[in-house]
Amino acid sequence: MKVMKLKIMFIALGLGFLAFLGLLAFVAIFISNEEHSLDSDDSIDEIGGISVSADVLKHQAMVEKYAKEYGILEYVSTLLAIIEVESGGKLKDVMQSSESLGLPPNTLDTEASIQQGTKYFADLLRSAKASGVDENTVIQAYNYGGAFIDYVAKRDTQYSFGLAESFAKERSGGSRVTYSNPIAKKKNGGWRYRYGNMFYVDLVSQYFISPHFDDEMVQIVMNEALKYEGFPYVFGGDNPNTSFDCSGLTQWSYRKAGINLPRTAQEQYDVTEHIPLSEAKPGDLVFFHSTYNAGTYVTHVGIYVGNNQMYNAGDPIGYANLTTAYWQKHLIGAGRIKQ
């Protein structure tokens, strides 16, 4: 009987110890997540302006890594849209970039594919800048190859579907193939030339979201602010030549709509009507405290765009989800600009 009681006691102690270990693990995970949200603003910035699948978004961090390495952080959204078109995020060679190295299709693994695809896109951007052609030419060249940049430069400075079509016609010798994509059906009855994909710009662009606001002032502000998505955060920056800090971005963007805001986050807070976030409308400002030691209570500001999202000069500049633990911890509230 005593042996049985001892066994029960040891079992109970063992279960209690396991429960204690589980509690410690839970606490460790909680602390780790909280520290991560406090120390890394990059982790809380979300890609805005595009609508791509979860299979593509899981590659976002790696795309950002190599976009930063090759100096094209502002093109992260474009690179993700390219992944959606090329593979839907599901193939090993997600950017289908093996062939840009002269390798057979699907040779590269996922990270090598993203590294090479991003490098290739950066090389095309430099070539386009030297030739004076636009960014849609670069997107089409990702599919056609760099020769398309020279082709456009000799005929125009802007991409057009007509140029993409004529390039494919020349390269294919006029050979056609039926093509079931809805864009092709809409444009020319559902065929394309047997060289590359002359609808590539349309295929990539369909994943971009152009935010629309009923308020004309808000639309002007956001049209300007979105030009700098992907730009790095620069303390003291207040114009496109230097990039921006948080209040520099809001001051610059609102000025385009004829609204003159003071320079710092604290000063902008002081001149607005203070309202809770629940009453905020697109175009209001959102304010935060203690995000760094600035010597003032208000230390960060962003533009509210609706649905608990803001657009702000994080690092890089972009959208952020206001429901995350980091922003909730530092949130003061919204501010409506007095006009």
The packing angle between helices 216-225 and 246-255, to 10°, is 130
**Beta strand pairing call for 318-321 and 309-312:** antiparallel
- Reference 335, options 290, 292, 303, 312; nearest CA is 303
What amino acid positions are annotated as catalytic residues?
246, 300, 312
> In the numeric block, which tokens belong to residue 269?
């807070």
Residue written as tokens 């400075």? 157
CB atoms < 10 A from the CB of 154, how many?
Answer: 9
Per DSSP, what are the bridge partners of residue 50?
208
Give 49-108 as a 3 state SS string.
CECCCHHHHCCHHHHHHHHHHCCCHHHHHHHHHHHHHHCCCCCCCCCCCHHHHCCCCCCC
Number of other CB atoms surrounding residue 250 within 10 Å: 27
Say whether the peptide bond before residue 276 is cis (omega within 30 degrees of 0): no
Based on the number of CB atoms within 10 Å of its own CB, is 51 exposed (0-12), middle (13-18) or buried (19 or more)? exposed
Contact 165, 193 (CB under 8 A): yes
Report the chain's terminal Cα–Cα distance, integer Å: 85
Rounded distance, CA 134 to CA 332, Å?
41
Among residues 90, 139, 98, the alpha carbon closest in space to that of 116 is found at 98
